[in-house]
Structure 1
Amino acid sequence: MNKGAAPLSLLIAVALLAGCGGNSSDTKGGRGGRGEGGTPEVGYVVVQPTQVALTSELAGRTVPHAVSEVRPQVSGVIQKRLFTEGSYVRAGQTLYQIDPSLYRASAAQAEANVAAAKANAEAARTLANRYKPLAQMQAVSQQEYTNAAAQARQTAAAVEQQQAALQTAKINLNFTRVPAPISGRIGRSAVTVGALVTANQADPLATIQQLDPIYVDIQQSTSQLLALRRSLAQGDVLPAKAAVHLKLEDGSDYELAGTIEFAEVVVDPNTGTVTLRASFPNPKGVLLPGMFVRAVFAQAIQTGAFLVPQQAVSRDPQGNATVMVVGPNSHAVAKTVKADRTQGPYWVVTEGLRPGDKIITQGLNKVRANQPVRAVPATTPQKIDPNRPMQGGGRGRRG
């Protein structure tokens, strides 16, 4: 009985050893994230220095391109209002009609005065011309001729005075038609038909705002401005003239780009900011005066920076940015870098990297510093053995 059981036990032990040997071989030959000998496989990207725009996002408010307050230049009663409130008006378009009766009468009186002055001048000139040869023949005294010539000149000057008065009367008559000084969107009317208005009154009749193009006043802190000027002076960055893009109050992007027109040379003592003015086309009237917006634009170009994918950068307990690079002999090496801002899906690294460094972007959770790795380009697809069971799939009931 004991002799028969011994060979059976030996056969079972051999079978178990063979099964264990097969599992070990599958583990070594599989590609489920491990290379030969258990070396982790990682994906890397090669970084090179490039030029990166220093993008700023600053608050701003929209301001009309031009504002004109409509005021009367003569006194009178409003007869008509010839525009629709809130509509677009063009320069020279009649907005109000003031009662022209008195001014029309003044113009007619001035015309009559001109005619009378011309008649007097003609008579004085004829008399002077008649006295001239008589004075030469001593038929009249020289004094009489002198007086006649002087009278002719006085009446000629009176004609010019009356013509100037006629021109003034005609101008005042034209001022009874109140035109739009500029083209733009007109607001509500401050007066109604029948209201009495006076020349040079303080309150405007209406206000016209030119909204296409429209200005955006952007506020930038003096600390940011000083840092930018310092970097420009040191040669770390280059000046840039890029388009300005807007984010509206609801978070949407304004479809048209603008340009920076100028920067104020005075700092606001209340806010410690400098105003930058940008101009934007506004053909559809989307931007209205007083709207709060966010302006995104590049003020300078930073040279010698590296763009590193965000998933490759981590932070240590002290908050320092670190990356893992493929070092000599295919070992993972941790490097501390300076990454103060992002641009899209990248961190902008300004210190700590060299051209050609291989930054590990895939498989970081399997890698420790100074550990050997099997590095492949990040675009290489991972090879998975279809015959290898899923983790935990080989454990269960044993037959």
Structure 2
Amino acid sequence: MKRRGFIISSALVLSGLLCACSDSGNNQAGGAGVPAAAAQQAAPVGVVTLKKDTFPVTTILPGRAEAFQTADIRPQVSGIIREIAFREGSEVKKGDLLYQIEDAPYVATVEQAKAAIAKAEASVPSAQSNFDRYQRLVGSGATQIEFETAKTTLLQAHAEVESAKATLASAQIDLDHTKIVAPFDGVIDETAYNVGNVVAANQTAALTTIRQLDPIYVSLTESSTNLLRLRDALASGTVRGEGADVAFRLILEDGKEYAQKGKLDMSKQIVSETTGTFIIRVLFPNPDLVILPGMYVRATVELGAEVGYALPQLATSRDATGRLTAQFISADGKVETRVFENASPSNNSWLVTDGVKDGDQLIVSGLQSIAPGMPVTPVPMKINESGVVVAGEQAAAGNAQKPAAQ
């Protein structure tokens, strides 16, 4: 009985000690947690102050480069290729010799035609003299039939001369065609035939191909729906455009902007029956042959101008429904998410007309470390011409190369 009482008493003492330790720990934890919950640090974020202005309305269209001219080179006379005078893949000028076909048979034909002319011309004086004699004697010793015969003989002599000259001209053309020359300036492909190969006049297989690459065409595609929407905007005055004088700027496959500007080629503007896209052909100068046929490019087109606010693309995103969103600083210094139903592309920005007012601060850097409702401290920033965030003083000083930390 004494042993059982001792065990119960020990258990009560141990429970009391555990309760005391638990209360002490709770009091210490509560005292340390009060200051941490009371103060939340405001994160610094880069901002730009928005102001209403007139901005260009642009669109980016995908496209493929096409040669300005293409010619498949085929022989016009038959023979053996004696010489190939070009280097494959090189530039050639109009009139440059490409292939030389063995010309000895054609030279002989030309000489034969020249001899035929000389023979025909030799018979003309005799026929002319005979005609003149019968013309004087007609009615006084010569019959009319003899006169007519002499006249016919003279005419035939002249005709034979003209026929021989035509044969010579044809033979000379064939001789000239033994030299195959470039029809225009361009870049020549590899040759499909070699020296010693026999070729035939107007054969199906081409000897090689020449492409003129300066200037060069770029065929762009745009949705016909967007085309109609643009026309409505131009008609209503919402967008002010310059018509056919719009300039096209090209973005190459490596992301760099092409130095030359293109002009609309009015000869090809059609809607594809299979895809429903509007095909636009643009002509670009290509003096350094930077653009090659088949190359994928993107063209930025300035369609007009619109009054609104420009939101840099790097500061925007899309929600699950595809609507444009951006983070702003509210009046109480907290992060505020705004959604824009309508936005038009404008170079490196989105152009909006609703949901923004002059003086609003758009967050452009530090976006990864903030959330809606979080207090933030604004740090003035600028966006340079390349769409990169830089410190405000850097942009003012002209040093806009170093991106701001995100």
TM-score scaled by structure 2?
A: 0.69
Q: Quick one: which of 279, 285, 288 aligns to 2:289?
A: 285
Distance in 2 between residues matched to 1:312 and 1:251, nearest whole Å = 20
Cα deviations by residue, 1:125-160 (Å, 9 ceiling, x for unpaired):
110011111114x12112211211121112112211
- CA distance 1:131–1:184, shift in 2 (3 Å): same
Amino acid at match of 2:67: P
Counterpart position of 2:395: none
Q: Paired residue for 1:66? A: 69
CA displacement 1:202-245 (0-9 Å, x = unmatched): 11111111111211111112121121122222222122334322
d(CA) in 1 for partners of 2:87, 2:200: 23
| Residue of structure 2 aligned with 1:194, choices 193, 196, 200 | 196
The aligned runs of 1:100-179 (5 Å cut-off) are 100-136=103-139, 138-179=140-181
Does the C-alpha gap of structure 1 residues 115 and 237 become closer, same or farther in structure 2, counting only changes over 3 Å?
same
Distance 1:320 1:303, change over 3 A: closer
Paired residues of 2:57 and 2:346 also in contact (CA < 8 A): no
Distance 1:145 1:59, change over 3 A: same
Cα distance change, pair 46–199 in 1 and its aligned pair in 2 (3 A): closer
**Who is 2:222 aligned against?**
220
1:272 to 270, 276, 279: 276
1:96 aligns with 2:99: yes
Offset from partner CA, 1:230-286 (integer Å, 9 cap, x none): 222222212233432222223333333322223744322332212111222222222
Cα separation, partners in 2 of 1:293 and 1:46, compared to 1, 3 Å: closer
Q: Distance in 2 between matches of 1:269 and 1:317?
A: 32
> Do the aligned partners of residues 114 and 156 (structure 1) sit closer, same or farther apart at CA in structure 2, a change above 3 Å counting?
same
TM-score under structure 1 normalisation?
0.70
In structure 2, give the amino acid aligned to 1:182.
F
- Residue-by-residue CA offset, 1:95-118 (whole Å, 9 max, x unaligned): 111111111111111111111111
Summarize deviations over 1:271-328 as a string: whole Å, max 9, x none.
2212111222222222211111111221x213332336789999999968687798xx
Equivalent of residue 259 in structure 1, options 258, 263, 275: 263
Partner of 2:251: 247
Whether contact under 8 Å (2:57, 2:344) holds in the other structure is: no
Q: CA shift at 1:183, angstroms?
A: 1.2
SS at match of 2:260: coil
8 A contact 1:75–1:197 mirrored in 2 = yes
1:311–1:361: 8 Å Cα contact kept in structure 2? Answer: no
2:81 alignment partner, one of 78, 82, 89: 78
Give the Cα separation in 2 of the matches to 1:62 and 1:290. Answer: 5
CA RMSD of aligned residues (A): 3.8
Percent of paired sites with the same residue: 36
Q: In 2, Cα distance between the equivalents of 1:204 and 1:152?
A: 48
C-alpha distance 197-270 of structure 1, shift in aligned 2 (>3 A): same
Q: 1:47 aligns with which of 51, 76, 95?
A: 51
1:191 to 1:149, Cα distance in 2 relative to 1, 3 A: same
Contact 1:338–1:350 (CA<8 Å) still a contact in 2?
no
SS in 1 for 2:291: coil
Question: Is the Cα–Cα contact under 8 Å of residues 324 and 343 in structure 2 kept in the other structure?
Answer: no
8 Å contact kept, 1:321–1:339: no
Superposition pairs of residues 348-387 of structure 1, within 5 angstroms: 348-351=351-354, 357-360=358-361
Q: Distance in 1 between matches of 2:225 and 2:125?
A: 79
Is contact 1:86–1:186 with CA below 8 Å preserved after alignment? yes
How many residues are matched?
A: 326
Task: Name the counterpart of 2:212.
Answer: 210
* Distance change >3 Å, CA 227–CA 214, structure 1 → 2: same
The amino acid that maps onto 2:109 is: S
Cα–Cα, structure 1 residues 86 and 342, in superposed 2: closer, same or farther, change >3 Å? closer
Unpaired runs of 5+ in structure 2?
A: 1-40, 364-369, 374-379, 383-391, 393-406
Secondary structure in structure 2 of the residue aligned to 1:258: strand
Distance 1:314 1:60 in 2: 26
- Match for residue 180 of structure 1? 182
* Offset of residue 47 of structure 1: 3.0
Question: CA separation in 2, counterparts of 1:215 and 1:66?
Answer: 9
